[in-house]
Amino acid sequence: MGREHWIHAFLLSNAVIGALNVLVALQIISIGGGAYEIGIFTTIINLTSVPSLIFWAKLSDYLAKRKAFVLLGLGSLFLVTILYSFSREIGEIYVISALQGFLVSSYIPAASMMIIETRPKRLWDKGIASYQISSSLGSALGLVIGSFVKQFYPFRETYIFLSLFGFISFIIALIFMKEPKITLERLYITTRVSGISLGEIMRMMWSGLVNLPKVSGIIRLIKELRYSLIRGFPLFLIGCLSLFLGIAIFFTPLPALFKDMGLDDSTILALNALPYIVAVSFYNKFAEKSAKSGLDLLIKAVFSRVFIFPSAPLLFLAVKALKLSWVITVFVLCVFYFLIGMTWSAINITTNALVARLSAETHRGSGYGYFNAIIGIAFIIGSYVGGWIAREMGYLASTLTSVTFLLASVTIFRELIEEAY
């Protein structure tokens, strides 16, 4: 375990990131913003981080360095969290979020390669699975601790407290992380698919960060989409675009919705930890089901959200009309987030597995790159659209828009059943 101490740096960094995005959204509300301003904040982070991931990945490969980029990202996370503690206006938050998206993303591609390059191939599954689980648990840990601290202290002190996790993660990486003896280019890292175990699923999930698309590859994909929109991998990507647009549109205004229900910041932070914990507990179960009927499982999970998502704005209306107590409101939201975590674990596993099944074997790495890019594009657009609709037409309208995209994705995925299986 001694040489693996550095992986705990990522648990702590995810604790900061997990709490940070929700905490900043709540701060925006506290200084006069709403769903629209939260949407802009989320859009800025995605708009800066998506191209930055490609930039940092290419630079890391070109310089054949990993540790330096991990330290840059973790150090930037500490710095950005401190900067948020001094923010007093929404405009300042936007500037800091741009720095967050650009600088903090520098450690993600390098970290993915560190996991692979510091161990023999037979141990990749174990390392990647450990990272995935620790990332989810780290996010949950950060939200729970943030909830506890926010109960007693204002935003500034909560940010400073969270920044200590970022600082400790930097120190752990600095002391325990060693530069890999061999650096591998992402282009040559591929995955195989046969019977799909949990470890293999985790490896596929990780390929979304390991294999990043080239510009020429994206242009080729556009041509493929133009000439082959009715079958195979391009159609699957269109379904994923619709799916993640729906997810982004729904979740962006959610903190503002909960505040309008009368929930305090601590409760909202704690509730957001629940789906991370639930998702981890369901990974094994859904990995086994995905190996047998991944597309069916994906359709069921997405279709379930068609009914789960409207429960949030309907609860909001019930709170206002019936004056529901805090206990009943929180209980319903716990059930809501439990279902969110369960369906997310199914969606996460099956979409990544289907990338491998539907993309050509010789281009599987690029396939994960395209998939990763589609998710980024969906969140850039969906975050803004979700915030705007919630502000102009209300939470129910944004939810119905989200559900429309989910239903469209289900229709698309149904078209793939015969071809995939």
The crossing angle, in degrees rounded to 10, of helices 107-117 and 124-150 is 140
Instruction: Identify whether 193 is part of a domain.
Output: no
pLDDT of residue 8: 81
Q: Are residues 171 and 220 in the same domain?
A: no
Question: Of 163, 181, 199, at which residue does a domain stop?
Answer: 181
How far is the C-alpha of 414 from the C-alpha of 416, rounded, in Å? 5
Q: Is the pLDDT of residue 163 over 90?
A: yes
**310 and 397 fall within a common domain:** yes
- Tell whether 187 is covered by a domain: no
Whether 405 maps to a domain, the answer reads yes
| Closest to 103 (Cα-Cα) out of 86, 78, 84, 85 | 78
Mean model confidence pLDDT for the chain? 82
**Residue 243, domain member (yes or no):** yes
**Rounded to 5 degrees, what are φ and ψ at 152?**
-115, -20
Question: Residue 124 pLDDT > 50, yes or no?
Answer: yes
Q: What tokens appear for 201 in the block?
A: 């699923």
344 pLDDT more than 60: yes
- Residue range 180-186: average pLDDT? 57
Residues 151 and 219 in one domain: no
Least confident of 149-163, 351-365, 379-393: 351-365
pLDDT of residue 126: 62
Same domain, 258 and 300: yes
Q: Are residues 246 and 382 in the same domain?
A: yes
Q: Tell me how many domains the chain contains.
A: 2
* Last residue in a domain, options 140, 165, 181: 181
For 196-217, the three-class secondary structure string (H helix, E strand, C coil) is CCHHHHHHHHHHHHHCCCCHHH
Q: Answer yes or no: is 415 within a domain.
A: yes
- Identify whether 234 is part of a domain: yes
Last residue of a domain, one of 181, 196, 229: 181
Residue 267 belongs to what domain range? 213-421
Regarding whether 280 and 134 lie in a shared domain, the answer is no
Query: What is the C-alpha R_g of the chain?
Result: 21
Mean pLDDT within 302-330 = 91
Clarify whether residues 132 and 35 are in a common domain. yes
pLDDT band at 180 (very low <50, low <70, confident <90, very high): confident
Residue type, 373: A
Is the alpha carbon torsion for 54, 59, 65, 70 positive or negative?
negative
Count the Cβ atoms, other than its own, within 10 Å of residue 62: 9
> Which residue, among 341, 330, 332, has the nearest Cα to 274 in the 3D structure?
341
Q: Please give the structure tokens belonging to residue 390.
A: 């919630």
C-alpha to C-alpha distance for 271 and 3, rounded to whole angstroms: 35
The predicted structure's pLDDT at residue 53: 81
What is the percent of the chain where pLDDT is above 70? 79
* Averaged pLDDT, 144-172: 94
Place of tokens 């010789």: 362
Can you give the CATH number for the domain in which 123 is found?
A: 1.20.1250.20
Residue 125: band (very low, low, confident or very high) from pLDDT cuts 50, 70, 90 = low
pLDDT-based confidence at residue 373 (cuts at 50, 70, 90) = confident
Q: Would you give the DSSP letter of residue 42? A: H
Longest dimension (CA), the chain: 64
Q: Tell me, yes or no, whether 233 and 85 share the same domain.
A: no
CB 55 within 8 A of CB 147: no
C-alpha to C-alpha distance for 351 and 378, rounded to whole angstroms: 15
Query: Quick one: 161 and 237 in the same domain?
Result: no
* pTM beyond 0.85, yes or no: no
- Mean pLDDT computed over 115-130: 65
Same domain, yes or no, for 319 and 386? yes
DSSP assigned state of 194: S
Instruction: Assess if residue 383 is contained within a domain.
Output: yes
Q: Which is nearest to 115 in space by CA: 107, 123, 127?
A: 127
**Average pLDDT over every residue of 171-196:** 60
The pLDDT tens digits of the residues spanning 377-401 come to: 999 999 999 999 999 999 999 999 9
In a domain, 199, yes or no: no
The interaxial angle of helices 155-176 and 67-86, nearest 10 deg, is: 170
Structure tokens at 174: 């600095």
Q: Cα(12)–Cα(17) distance, rounded to whole angstroms? A: 9
Residues 241, 170 share a domain: no
Same domain, 376 and 231: yes
Which among 59-63, 139-143, 234-238, 398-402 has the top mean pLDDT?
Answer: 398-402
